[in-house]
Amino acid sequence: VDMGIVRFLNDLSFPFACKFHGVFKSIDETFVATSFCTQGDLFVWCDRESLPRPGEERERHMKPILCQLFTAVRYLHELGIAHRDLSLENIMLTDSDTEVPNVVLIDFGM
């Protein structure tokens, strides 16, 4: 992991990146503490039974999430940063003040 990028995004308060809280080491392992994403990844979220079946209603549910994702990627590219491992499993979702969860990008593949 390129800790420089992690710290850079943390310092910018980039709203679409997992917040880095610290690194802790034991004798055998290293642990990275980050913010908790309450709704899991986008792959699992899309597979929920409560999500409407494919069609217009499902598209209405997905559109605000995809808009956040596109905003996040555009912002990263404007900073000269490429994610390099964007997948449904690396797009986390967390609770927000609305019924639409917030997008949080993880694992920049560096």
Helix, strand, or coil here: 108?
coil
- Indicate the pTM of the whole model: 0.80
Q: Alpha-carbon distance 14 to 5, whole Å?
A: 11
Q: Alpha-carbon distance 31 to 36, whole Å?
A: 14
More confident residue, 80 or 3: 80
Domains of the chain: 3-105 (1.10.510.10)
pLDDT digits (tens, 9 = 90+) for 7-35: 776 677 778 888 888 888 899 998 888 88
Q: Indicate if the pLDDT at residue 3 is higher than 80.
A: no
pLDDT digits (tens, 9 = 90+) for 43-78: 998 888 787 888 898 899 899 999 999 999 998 899
Residue 91 forms beta bridges with which residues?
105
Q: Indicate if the pLDDT at residue 110 is higher than 60.
A: no
